[in-house]
C-alpha cells in the first residue's frame, strides 16, 4: 500500500530516512560562490530531499528552488517521487536580517519535515536570489518572526502552491544579446577615452617612450613614430600611447610596459623581449600571510605576478587596441581591478604550452575582448574572479585551453573560433553562475565546451571533429541549438544529479552521440521538443513514436549499423525499453530523449560543416542574436534594463518562457 501525503509519496512498510549532514547532499540551487559570499553575514534556508529512485540525497539552496522543482514536469521523471523533504528551521538561531535586508541566523538550523514546518512569507527578509521563505518548527516562532519583519506565517500547503521567481538559465539567455550590446558600449567609450590631443612626440620632444610618458600631461597622447625602441615603460598618468609601426623590445627580464594609472590607452604597438617569469615567490608568501584561501593564493601568486608584454596593476579603464605581443609569459596581465577593453590584440605564445603562459591573464579584473587572436602558449585567455567579462569574435589556436574561466560569472563568450586546443576550446571551472557561451566554433580539440557552474546558457555553438563536443557539467543550465558533428562523443552527461535542460541540439556523424556517467536517468527534452539524433528515426515505426536512448548499445548504433534497426524492433528490446524508466537499476547512467526530432534544427549549419567547401568556408557562427530576438511569446523572456549593472545583478530579470 502506498500512502499519498501532500506532495510526497511514501511506503509505510519502509522507515522514513533521517536527515543527513547537508555537506553530504548533492547540492542544487544557488552556486557555491554565492554561498561563500553569504557565509559571513547571511543565511540561506536549505532543503534536503530523498527521492524514490535516486540514491543521492538532493540539497536545495532556498525553499523556492525545491517548490519549483515539484511542478517542473521533469524532476519526478528523473528522480522519482519525493519520499520525504526536510527543511532547515531556525527557532533558536536568533533569526534576523542584515542591514542589507538579507536573512541571517546564528549557527545551522535544525531539520524538520517540510509538511510539519511553519513558514514566514512576504517579509522584509531577502536572499541573494530574491524572495525569502523562512521555515520554523513551531508556529509561535514563525509568528514572532513574522510580526517583527512584516510577514505572514503559513503552512506547507500555502508554500507548496506559491510561484517563485527562481532565476534560471532562461534569464541568462534573455540577457545574452544585451551583453553583446554592452561590449559595443564599452568599446565606444574606450574609443572616446583613447582619442586625445597630441602632447609629446618621441624622438622630437623626448628621447624615449618612458621619458615621453613621464612628461606628457594627463589626458593627452604620446606619439611613437616607426622604429625599434629598446626599453621598458612605466605609465603613471592617464595618457594614450599611439604607435605608428613602432616596436618596443624589452631586455628579456620582467614586463615591458607597466601601467599603474586609470584610463590609459595603448595603440598601434608591437612588443617583444618579455621576461619568462610566471610566478613571484615573494607574492606567494604574501598571499599565505594574508590568509587568502589556499586555492586563490596559489592562483594569484602563480598567475597574477609574472611577466607580461603589458602589465596593469590597479589601472581601471585600460584600452589596448591594435597591439601585437610576442611572449613566453603573459601577453596582457590585469590585476587588482584593471578593467580593460581589448580590441585587435594578437598574442603569439610559445610553441609548447608548458613553456608558455596566458595570452590574457585577468585577476579580479573585468575584460572585454573583441576581434583578437591568441596562438600558442598555455591559455588564450585566463580569467579569475572577473565577473561580467565579454570575449567575442576572437580566434584561439594551439593553446592548452582557448578560454579558461575560474570563479567568473555573468560573462559572455560568443562567436569565437578555436582550433587544435589540447584540453578544450572553452572551459569554465569552480561553479560560477550566469555565464552565456553562444555561437562559438570549436574543432579538432580534446573538448569543445566544458562548463561547470550553475545557470549557464550554452547554445548555438558549432562543435566539430573534437574528442568530445560538450559536457553537461553545469547545473540548472540550458543547452540548446548546438550543432555537434563528427566528434568521438557528441556530449557527455557528467553531473550525478541532472538538473539541466538539453533540447533542440543536432547530433550528426559522431562515433557516439552521447555518453553518461553514474547518476539518475537524464531526460534530454523539454515540453514537446527533443533533440535531433542522426539515425534515431530509422525503422518501421512512424517518426516520433519511439524514444531514443543514445546510451543504449542498440540505439547508439543506429546511425552506424543498419542491422541495429532489426535489433531495435525485437520483442526483447521492447521489453527492455519498458523496464527502463520504471526499475531504478535500469535508469542509472543513461540518457533518454522521449521525443527525438525527425529533422535537424539547423540544417544549414550542418551542411556548412559537412559539405566539400567546409574547410574553405572556415568558422561557422549562427546568427543567434537575431534568432533570440525573434523568439515566440511562449519562449521569450523579459528583463528590466540593459546596463552593466543589470548584467551582474542576478535578480534583474525574470524568465517567463519554457525553461523556467
Q: How confident is the model at residue 312 (pLDDT cuts 50, 70, 90)?
A: very high
Residues 137 and 281 in one domain: no
Whether the pLDDT of residue 617 is over 70: the answer is no
Among 335, 353, 371, identify where a domain stops: 353
Residues 27 and 117 in one domain: yes
Whether the pLDDT of residue 660 is over 70: the answer is no
602 lies in some domain: no
Whether the pLDDT of residue 318 is over 90: the answer is yes
Which residue from 505, 552, 540, 555 is spatially nearest to 525, judged by alpha carbons? 505
Residues 225 and 338 in one domain: yes
305 lies in some domain: yes
Question: Cell numbers at residue 12, please?
Answer: 509505510
Question: DSSP characters for 12-76?
Answer: TTSPPPPP--GGGSEEESS-HHHHHHHTTT----EEEEEETT-SSEEEEESHHHHHHHHTSSSHH
Among 353, 378, 397, identify where a domain stops: 353
Give tens-digit pLDDT for 510-564: 999 999 987 777 889 988 899 999 998 876 666 666 888 898 877 787 777 665 5
| DSSP conformational letter for 548 | B
Distance CA 200, CA 212 (A): 6
Please give the model's pTM, rounded to 2 decimal places. 0.84
**What pLDDT does 130 receive?**
73
528 lies in some domain: no
Whether the pLDDT of residue 441 is over 70: the answer is yes
427 lies in some domain: no
385 lies in some domain: no
List, in sequence order, every residue forming a beta bridge with 381; answer none if it has no partner.
360, 403
Please state the rounded mean pLDDT for residues 478-498. 93
Residues 203 and 161 in one domain: no
411 within 8 A of 590, measured Cβ to Cβ? no
CATH number at residue 229: 2.160.20.10
Residues 201 and 162 in one domain: no
Among 146, 166, 186, identify where a domain stops: 166
3 state SS of 583: coil
Whether the pLDDT of residue 14 is over 50: the answer is yes
Distance of alpha carbon 156 from the chain centroid? 34
Residues 162 and 300 in one domain: no
Residues 42 and 156 in one domain: yes
**Between residues 31 and 619, which one has the greater pLDDT?**
619
Q: Which of 273-282, 318-327, 441-450 has the lowest mean pLDDT?
A: 273-282
- Domain holding 291, by residue range, is 197-353
Distance CA 17, CA 4 (A): 17
| DSSP conformational letter for 542 | P
Residues 348 and 214 in one domain: yes
Distance CA 266, CA 340 (A): 11
Q: Which percentage of the chain shows pLDDT scores above 90? A: 59
176 lies in some domain: no
**Between residues 564 and 364, which one has the greater pLDDT?**
364
628 lies in some domain: no
Whether the pLDDT of residue 599 is over 50: the answer is yes
57 lies in some domain: yes
Residues 130 and 85 in one domain: yes
**What pLDDT does 557 receive?**
75
Residues 26 and 103 in one domain: yes
CA distances from 390 to 191, 218, 453, 467 (A): 17, 28, 17, 27
Q: How many domains is the chain partitioned into structurally?
A: 2
Residues 161 and 211 in one domain: no
Residues 142 and 290 in one domain: no
Question: Cell numbers at residue 659, please?
Answer: 525553461
Strongest mean pLDDT among 29-38, 100-109, 260-269, 648-657: 260-269
Whether the pLDDT of residue 383 is over 70: the answer is yes
Amino acid at each position: 500500500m502506498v500512502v499519498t501525503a501532500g506532495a510526497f509519496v511514501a511506503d509505510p512498510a519502509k522507515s522514513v530516512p533521517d536527515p543527513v549532514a547537508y555537506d553530504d547532499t548533492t547540492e542544487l540551487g544557488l552556486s557555491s560562490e554565492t554561498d561563500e559570499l553569504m557565509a559571513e553575514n547571511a543565511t540561506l534556508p536549505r532543503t534536503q530531499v530523498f527521492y524514490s529512485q535516486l540514491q543521492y540525497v538532493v540539497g536545495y539552496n532556498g525553499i523556492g528552488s525545491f517548490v519549483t522543482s515539484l511542478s517542473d514536469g521533469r524532476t519526478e521523471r528523473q528522480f522519482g517521487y519525493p519520499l520525504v523533504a526536510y527543511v532547515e528551521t531556525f527557532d533558536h538561531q536568533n533569526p534576523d536580517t542584515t542591514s542589507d535586508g538579507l536573512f541571517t541566523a546564528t549557527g545551522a538550523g535544525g531539520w524538520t519535515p517540510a509538511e510539519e514546518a511553519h513558514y514566514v512569507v512576504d517579509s522584509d527578509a531577502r536572499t541573494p536570489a530574491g524572495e525569502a521563505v523562512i521555515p520554523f518548527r513551531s508556529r509561535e516562532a514563525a509568528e514572532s518572526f513574522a510580526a517583527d519583519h512584516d510577514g505572514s506565517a503559513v503552512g506547507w500547503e500555502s508554500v507548496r502552491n506559491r510561484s517563485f521567481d527562481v532565476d534560471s538559465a532562461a534569464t541568462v539567455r534573455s540577457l545574452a544579446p544585451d551583453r553583446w550590446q554592452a561590449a559595443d558600449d564599452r568599446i565606444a567609450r574606450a574609443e572616446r577615452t583613447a582619442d586625445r590631443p597630441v602632447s609629446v612626440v618621441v624622438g622630437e620632444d623626448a628621447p624615449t617612450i618612458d621619458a615621453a610618458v613621464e612628461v606628457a600631461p594627463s589626458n593627452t597622447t604620446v606619439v611613437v613614430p616607426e622604429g625599434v625602441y629598446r626599453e621598458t615603460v612605466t605609465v603613471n598618468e592617464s595618457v594614450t600611447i599611439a604607435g605608428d609601426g613602432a616596436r618596443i623590445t624589452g631586455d628579456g627580464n620582467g614586463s615591458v610596459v607597466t601601467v599603474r594609472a586609470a584610463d590609459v590607452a595603448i595603440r598601434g604597438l608591437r612588443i617583444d623581449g618579455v621576461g619568462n617569469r610566471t610566478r613571484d615567490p615573494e607574492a606567494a608568501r604574501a598571499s599565505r600571510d594574508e590568509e587568502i584561501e589556499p586555492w586563490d593564493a596559489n592562483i594569484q601568486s602563480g598567475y597574477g605576478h609574472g611577466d607580461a608584454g603589458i602589465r596593469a596593476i590597479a589601472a581601471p579603464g585600460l584600452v589596448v587596441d591594435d597591439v601585437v605581443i610576442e611572449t613566453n609569459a603573459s601577453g596582457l596581465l590585469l590585476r587588482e581591478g584593471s578593467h580593460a577593453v581589448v580590441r585587435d590584440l594578437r598574442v603569439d605564445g610559445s610553441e609548447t604550452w608548458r613553456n608558455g603562459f596566458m595570452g590574457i591573464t585577468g585577476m579580479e579584473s573585468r575584460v572585454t575582448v573583441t576581434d583578437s587572436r591568441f596562438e600558442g602558449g598555455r591559455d588564450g585567455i585566463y580569467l579569475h574572479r572577473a565577473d561580467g567579462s565579454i570575449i567575442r569574435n576572437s580566434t584561439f589556436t594551439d593553446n592548452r585551453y582557448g578560454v579558461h574561466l575560474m570563479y567568473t560569472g555573468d560573462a559572455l563568450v560568443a562567436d569565437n573560433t578555436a582550433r587544435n586546443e589540447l584540453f578544450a576550446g572553452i572551459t569554465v571551472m569552480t561553479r560560477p553562475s550566469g555565464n552565456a557561451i553562444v555561437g562559438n566554433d570549436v574543432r579538432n580539440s580534446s573538448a569543445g565546451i566544458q562548463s561547470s557552474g550553475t545557470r549557464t546558457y550554452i547554445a548555438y555553438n558549432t562543435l566539430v571533429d573534437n574528442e568530445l563536443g560538450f559536457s553537461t557539467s553545469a547545473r540548472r543550465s540550458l543547452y540548446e541549438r548546438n550543432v555537434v558533428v563528427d566528434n568521438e562523443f557528441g556530449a557527455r552527461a557528467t553531473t550525478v544529479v541532472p538538473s539541466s535542460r538539453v533540447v533542440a541540439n543536432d547530433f550528426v556523424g559522431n562515433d557516439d552521440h552521447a555518453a553518461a556517467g553514474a547518476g539518475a536517468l537524464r531526460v534530454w527534452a523539454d515540453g514537446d521538443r527533443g533533440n535531433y539524433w542522426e539515425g534515431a528515426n530509422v525503422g518501421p515505426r512512424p517518426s516520433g513514436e519511439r524514444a531514443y536512448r543514445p546510451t543504449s548499445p542498440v540505439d547508439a548504433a543506429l546511425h552506424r549499423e543498419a542491422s541495429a534497426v532489426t535489433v531495435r524492433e525485437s520483442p526483447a528490446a521492447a521489453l527492455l525499453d519498458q523496464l527502463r524508466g520504471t526499475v531504478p537499476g535500469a535508469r542509472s547512467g543513461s540518457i533518454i530523449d522521449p521525443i527525438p526530432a525527425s529533422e535537424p534544427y539547423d540544417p544549414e549549419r550542418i551542411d556548412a560543416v559537412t559539405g566539400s567547401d567546409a574547410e574553405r568556408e572556415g568558422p561557422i557562427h549562427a546568427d543567434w542574436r537575431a534568432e533570440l530576438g525573434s523568439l515566440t511569446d511562449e519562449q521569450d523572456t523579459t528583463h528590466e534594463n540593459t546596463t552593466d549593472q543589470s548584467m551582474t545583478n542576478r535578480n534583474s530579470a525574470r524568465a517567463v518562457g519554457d525553461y523556467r
